[in-house]
Amino acid sequence: MLNAEQSFLNKTDKVIQDLSEANFSLTRTRAWFRFLNGNLRDLLDLGILLSGIYFITHNELEVATMLIILSYRGQIVSISSNLESFYDIIKRFELAAERIFEILEGNKYPKEVFGNKKISKIEGSIAFKNVSFGYERDTMVLKNISFQIHPNETVSFVGKSGSGKSTIFNLISALYRPTSGEITFDGIPLNQLDKTSIRKNISVISQNPYIFNMSIRENLTIIKEDLTENEMIEACKMACLHDFIMTLKDGYDTVVGEGGVTLSGGQRQRLAIARALILKTEIILFDEATSALDNETQHEIQKSIQNMQGEYTILIIAHRLSTVINSDRLILIDDGRVVGEGTHQELLKNNSIYQKLYELELKDDKKVNIKN
């Protein structure tokens, strides 16, 4: 559909050409090695023969001894022949070892580093203190940002694409570490917490949550083996999914296919929300979870989120401002900096950047309505 067949064929041709040149170089090296090895063997044979004739004619070597020497000649030749195979093995080992140590030493692919402090359950307070971060050292995506999230608060991060919103979520999830500054959970520096303390207290619901090729029930029990029927139904009701499940022939035992292919985008999102509710993590991150959904489905997801408000610390990144105006607070990000905080009405009244974003969205909505 992208009409990219020729482009991929050209790329494949180049890969094949590079591989052919590498193989030719290897074959040429082997040929030279075999040539030298063969000549060395012939020279060795000639040297042994001439030396034997010389010593025999001068009565310094008996014919029987010469025959014994010639019988061991094969061992010398065998050692010489094995050098080629040994060289090939060494080169292959060198390449494999280089790749392995790139991972083990963490030079090319840095390993995750966690602290040793364990906490079973956090309250949900998050603080960024003068945090800067860049995926590349010379380009900062976040620039000295600070903000505070309170337990059980629903906060939405808004701003233009590329302003750094998703990067904030990556740092909260400890997928990356700040270049400078500090992030704390309940006043504890994030880098002091162990892996389990972080992962067990955060759920991330992305735009395309992965659904396993299992039944709906198995997709929920896989994260909690002792899940009861009542817990499962309650979570799905809060996620506005239970009524849909009851319309299915096999109900909760309906197999949804690889990636949840038999479900709509909104149904996959609500199943992911139900999973987060079952995990009972105190912090739930919605990363552009409604951006690809129609208005009706967006409304259902918003209703699911509203059912959770006040019980969880909910952080939302939303493409459309209209989906987050009911959040307790909005944090406006622009060019990697916090440029405004407050409710929708407060920002609309006092922040010119937010006003422009909202006006632009209203214009886009009018264009869509005119087309329809």
Count CB atoms within 10 A of the CB of residue 219.
21
Residue 256 and residue 160 in one domain: yes
Residue 218 and residue 310 in one domain: yes
- Distance from C-alpha of 286 to C-alpha of 289, rounded to nearest angstrom: 5
Residue 146 and residue 26 in one domain: no
- 318-344 as b/e: b if 16+ CB within 10 A: bbbbebbbebebbbbbbebbbbbebeb
Residue 118 lies in a domain: no
Among residues 46, 74, 104, the one where a domain terminates is: 104
What's the Cα-to-Cα distance from 212 to each of 226, 240, 261, rounded to whole Å?
A: 19, 20, 10
Q: Is 314 exposed, middle or buried (0-12, 13-18, 19+ CB in 10 A)?
A: buried
- Distance from C-alpha of 244 to C-alpha of 361, rounded to nearest angstrom: 32
Residue 233 lies in a domain: yes
Return the SS3 of 108.
Answer: coil
User: Side by side, which strands form the sheet with 202-205?
Assistant: 202-205, 283-287, 313-317, 154-158, 329-334, 337-342
- Ranges of H-type helices in the chain: 5-57, 63-104, 165-172, 195-199, 216-221, 229-238, 242-246, 265-279, 295-308, 344-350, 352-371
For residue 290, give the CATH number of its domain. Answer: 3.40.50.300
Q: Interior CA angle at 319 toward 313 and 325, to 5°?
A: 55
Residue 252 and residue 311 in one domain: yes
Return the SS3 of 1.
Answer: coil
Residue 220 and residue 329 in one domain: yes
Residue 90 and residue 130 in one domain: no
Q: Report the chain's C-alpha Rg in angstroms.
A: 34
**How many domains in the chain?**
2
Residue 92 lies in a domain: yes
User: Would you state the structure tokens that stand for residue 180, as one six-digit string?
Assistant: 């400078």
Among residues 71, 104, 137, the one where a domain terminates is: 104
Residue 110 lies in a domain: no
Q: Which domain range does residue 299 map to?
A: 126-371
Residue 295 and residue 355 in one domain: yes
- Distance from C-alpha of 117 to C-alpha of 270, rounded to nearest angstrom: 33
Residue 316 lies in a domain: yes
User: Would you state the structure tokens that stand for residue 104, as one six-digit string?
Assistant: 């083990």
Q: Tell me if 160 sits within 8 A of 206, measured CB to CB.
A: no
Residue 20 and residue 157 in one domain: no
Residue 365 lies in a domain: yes
Residue 96 and residue 138 in one domain: no
Residue 75 and residue 171 in one domain: no
Only one residue has tokens 């020497």, namely 69
Residue 240 lies in a domain: yes
Among residues 104, 138, 160, the one where a domain terminates is: 104
Q: What is the pLDDT of residue 368?
A: 47
Count CB atoms within 10 A of the CB of residue 34.
12
* Angle between helical axes of 229-238 and 265-279 (0-180°, round to 10): 130
- Distance from C-alpha of 257 to C-alpha of 215, rounded to nearest angstrom: 8
- Distance from C-alpha of 166 to C-alpha of 158, rounded to nearest angstrom: 10
- Distance from C-alpha of 152 to C-alpha of 328, rounded to nearest angstrom: 10
Residue 113 lies in a domain: no
Residue 142 and residue 276 in one domain: yes
pLDDT tens, the chain, 372 aa long = 667 788 888 899 999 999 999 888 888 887 787 777 767 777 777 777 788 777 778 877 777 777 666 666 656 556 656 666 777 788 788 888 888 887 777 666 667 788 899 988 888 899 999 999 998 888 899 999 999 999 999 999 998 888 889 899 999 999 899 999 999 999 999 999 998 888 888 888 887 888 999 999 999 998 888 889 999 999 898 888 899 999 999 999 999 998 889 998 888 888 988 888 888 888 989 887 665 556 666 677 777 777 777 888 999 987 778 778 888 999 999 999 999 999 999 999 999 999 998 888 776 665 545 554
Q: Tell me if 146 sits within 8 A of 130, measured CB to CB.
A: yes
Residue 157 and residue 282 in one domain: yes
Q: What is the pLDDT of residue 204?
A: 85
- Distance from C-alpha of 44 to C-alpha of 35, rounded to nearest angstrom: 14
Q: What is the pLDDT of residue 33?
A: 75
